[in-house]
């Protein structure tokens, strides 16, 4: 059993750490450095260079092995991905709560204890796999063409998706890899829905599937709201908002965005979640209610800004607003969206916490977010006056009418009134 955890085992018929036994008859290719083994796909070596970690410590190989064998997707013929993602071009996403250390960042040891306890306490929950089935998949023989049925392996199994062997000569570690005729685990029909404690599951379609963070994807505030409180998503075990751990926690979302045989960056977002919010009654329902209210307010403010910028681009002529003029508002919209992304959750937590206090507290918290939106759209309109083309002769009229349009729509939508959530 000790050899299962050894980084280098000279007998290729035996397993090594995350390295299945060599079944024989394979074509092995050399891998000189850990970064050449890792899952990051570089583009023709132009920007981020590959295979540069020529002086590598054993831990570098360990990290590369873990990264590859537990998170890799499809990499071309003979290079299959893991079972815990929705297809070879998908992502293995992590979403969960983590206890906070003194620096405000996740406390790694407390995080590990918390997640391990969650998993063990929910060990008997109905699942796809077979409890007590194969769990360390690299320890099993891997004859060519033979797959493991996902329903037979333990639901908490550590899988491997590639044939890798490490060798050591003169104190220097090198790697070899070989292709396979099929994926190690047969799980295509499950679309990544394998009871992963950290994987959000989409339930909006007939067939549930694990979250994919595709090209250009990121953990935008709208995506985070959907994942935490939306009806279209089932939050994973580690992201349950009713966690009983004392103290402040953060929400951690992370995934490597993937495309067709390429990657688009590791995206991560950490959101502080005060204990005053986590202790709120009916938290998921209240979170959803307030989040939807804020999204509606953002939509109203954004709509007012777009109309005002378009009217300015039309020289202040109401009947001159067409598609080209509306397109002039795209930059203002993008800047507003970026600003909102930075403050959305601070206001969300404040409004949820206020629901534990009084109607006056709720009104104050609501007003604070709306005031922030109003200030932002006014600033963006003024910015647009200096960036959006408008004939000089028409500019005074255009500015006056654009401001009037903005204020009128904001008032109509209730963003300039004192209202309650």
Per-residue pLDDT of the chain (421 residues; tens, 9 = 90+): 678 999 999 999 999 999 999 999 999 999 988 988 887 655 454 444 555 556 789 999 999 999 999 999 888 889 999 999 998 788 899 999 999 988 888 999 999 999 999 999 998 888 899 999 999 999 999 999 899 999 999 999 999 999 999 999 888 899 999 999 999 999 999 999 999 999 999 998 889 999 988 766 789 999 999 998 878 999 999 998 766 666 789 999 999 887 666 677 889 999 998 888 887 888 888 999 999 999 999 999 999 999 999 999 999 999 999 999 999 999 999 999 999 999 999 999 999 999 988 999 999 999 999 999 999 999 999 999 999 999 999 999 999 999 999 999 999 999 997 444 4
**Alpha-carbon torsion (234, 239, 241, 245), positive or negative:** positive
In the chain, the N- to C-terminal Cα span, in Å, equals 60
Contact 157, 134 (CB under 8 A): yes
Pairs from 55-61 (Cβ < 8 Å, separation ≥ 24): 56/173, 58/7, 58/173, 60/34, 61/7, 61/34, 61/37, 61/166, 61/173, 61/175
How are beta strands 233-234 and 201-202 bridged, if at all? antiparallel
The position carrying tokens 């919010």 is 277
DSSP per position, 298-338: HHHHHHHHHHHHHHHHTTT-GGG--HHHHHTTHHHHHHHHH
What is the C-alpha separation between 22 and 15, in angstroms, rounded? 8
β-partners of residue 175 are 31, 166
What is the C-alpha separation between 367 and 389, in angstroms, rounded? 34
Cβ-count burial of 150 within 10 angstroms (0-12 exposed, 13-18 middle, 19+ buried)?
Answer: buried
What is the C-alpha separation between 291 and 300, in angstroms, rounded? 14
Burial readout 280-319 (b: 16 or more C-beta within 10 A, e: otherwise): beebeebbbbbbeebeebbebbbbbbbbbbbbbbbbbeee
Contact 98, 271 (CB under 8 A): no
Query: Pick from 292, 304, 312, 291: which is nearest to 377 by CA?
Result: 304
pLDDT at 420 (0 to 100): 41
Reported as a single tens digit per residue, the pLDDT across 244-292 is 666 789 999 999 887 666 677 889 999 998 888 887 888 888 999 999 9
pLDDT at 419 (0 to 100): 43
The conformation of residue 41, written as its DSSP 8-state character, comes to P
What is the C-alpha separation between 208 and 190, in angstroms, rounded? 8
Burial readout 39-64 (b: 16 or more C-beta within 10 A, e: otherwise): bbbeeeeeeeeeeebeebeeebbebb
Which helix (H) or strand (E) is 265 found in, with range?
strand 262-273
pLDDT at 421 (0 to 100): 40
CA 286 to chain centroid, in Å, comes to 23
pLDDT at 49 (0 to 100): 52
pLDDT at 216 (0 to 100): 66
Which helix (H) or strand (E) is 291 found in, with range?
helix 283-313
Reported as a single tens digit per residue, the pLDDT across 8-51 is 999 999 999 999 999 999 999 999 889 888 876 554 544 445 55
């Amino acid at each position: 059993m000790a050899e299962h955890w050894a980084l280098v085992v000279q007998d290729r018929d035996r397993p090594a750490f995350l390295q299945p036994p060599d079944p024989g008859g394979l074509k092995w290719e050399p891998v000189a450095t850990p970064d050449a083994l890792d899952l990051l796909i570089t583009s023709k070596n132009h920007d981020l260079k590959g295979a540069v970690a020529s002086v590598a410590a054993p831990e570098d190989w360990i990290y590369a092995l873990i990264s590859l064998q537990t998170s890799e997707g499809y990499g071309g013929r003979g290079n299959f991905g893991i079972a815990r993602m929705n297809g070879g071009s998908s992502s293995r996403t992590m979403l969960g709560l983590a206890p906070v250390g003194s620096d405000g960042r996740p406390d790694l040891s407390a995080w590990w204890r918390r997640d391990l306890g969650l998993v063990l306490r929910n060990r008997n929950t109905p699942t796809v796999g077979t409890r007590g089935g194969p769990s360390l998949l690299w320890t099993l023989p891997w004859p060519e063409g033979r797959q493991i049925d996902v329903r037979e392996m333990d639901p908490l199994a550590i899988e491997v998706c590639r044939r890798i062997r490490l060798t050591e000569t003169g104190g220097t570690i090198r790697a070899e890899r070989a292709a396979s005729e099929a994926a190690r685990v047969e799980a295509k029909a499950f679309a990544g829905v394998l009871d992963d404690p950290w994987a959000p599951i989409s339930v909006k379609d007939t067939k549930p599937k694990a979250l994919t963070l595709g090209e250009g994807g990121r953990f935008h505030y709208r995506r985070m709201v959907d994942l935490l409180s939306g009806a279209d998503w089932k939050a994973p075990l580690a992201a349950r908002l009713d966690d009983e751990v004392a103290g402040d926690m953060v929400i951690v979302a992370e995934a490597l965005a993937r495309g067709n045989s390429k990657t688009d960056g590791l995206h991560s977002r950490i959101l502080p979640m005060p204990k005053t919010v986590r202790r709120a009654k009916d938290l998921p329902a209240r979170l959803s209610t307030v989040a939807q209210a804020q999204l509606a307010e953002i939509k109203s403010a954004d709509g007012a800004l777009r109309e005002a910028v378009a009217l300015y681009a039309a020289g202040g002529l109401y009947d001159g607003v067409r598609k080209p003029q509306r397109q002039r508002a795209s930059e203002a919209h993008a800047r507003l969206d970026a600003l909102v992304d930075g403050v959305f959750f601070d206001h969300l937590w404040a409004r949820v916490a206020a629901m534990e206090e009084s109607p006056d507290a709720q009104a104050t918290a609501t007003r604070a977010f709306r005031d922030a939106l109003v200030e932002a759209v006014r600033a963006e309109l003024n910015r647009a006056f200096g960036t959006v083309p408008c004939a000089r002769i028409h500019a005074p009229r255009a500015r006056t009418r654009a401001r009037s349009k903005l204020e009128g729509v904001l008032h109509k939508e209730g963003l300039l009134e004192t209202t309650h959530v």
